[in-house]
Structure 1
Amino acid sequence: MMDTIIEPGDIARAYDFGPTSSRKDSVLTSPVSLFRKEHAMTRDDARRALGLDLNRPTALVQLGTGDSDVNEKMTAALSGLLGWKDLQVVLTKVPVDKDGNSLAPEGLDLKVVRYFPLAKVLHAFDAGICATGYNGVHELLPAQVPTVFVSNIRGTDDQEARAQWCNDFGFALRADQANLADITEKVKMLQDPAVRKRLSNKCAELPNTTGGQEIAAMLYQLAVEQKPVRSKSFTFARLMAQDHINRGLRHVANLGLRRVALVYRFLNPHITVQEIDQAPPVFGSHITAAELHPLIKSATRYEHLIEGASDSYRKRREEIAFAAYGKEMIVTKTK
Structure 2
Amino acid sequence: MNKSVKVPFIILAIAPFFIFAVTLISVIYGTKEISPLTVWKTLISFNEANVDHQIIWTARIPRAIAVLIVGGFLAVAGAVMQGITRNYLASPSLMGVNDGSAFVITLAIIFLPGLSNYQMILLSMLGSALGAGLVFGFGSLIRNGLTPVRLAIIGTVIGTFLSSIASAIAMYYQVSQTVAVWYNTKVQSVDPDMLRLSIPFGTVGILLALANARAITITSLGEDVAVGLGQKTRTVRLLSMLSVVLLTGTAVALVGKIAFVGLVVPHIVRFLVGEDYRFIIPCSLMTGAFFVSLCDLISRYVNFPFETPIGVITAIIGVPFFLYLIRTRGGGKHA
Length-normalised TM-score, structure 1: 0.22
Length-normalised TM-score, structure 2: 0.22
Bigger strand share: 1
Bigger helix share: 2
Of structures 1 and 2, the larger Rg is shown by 1
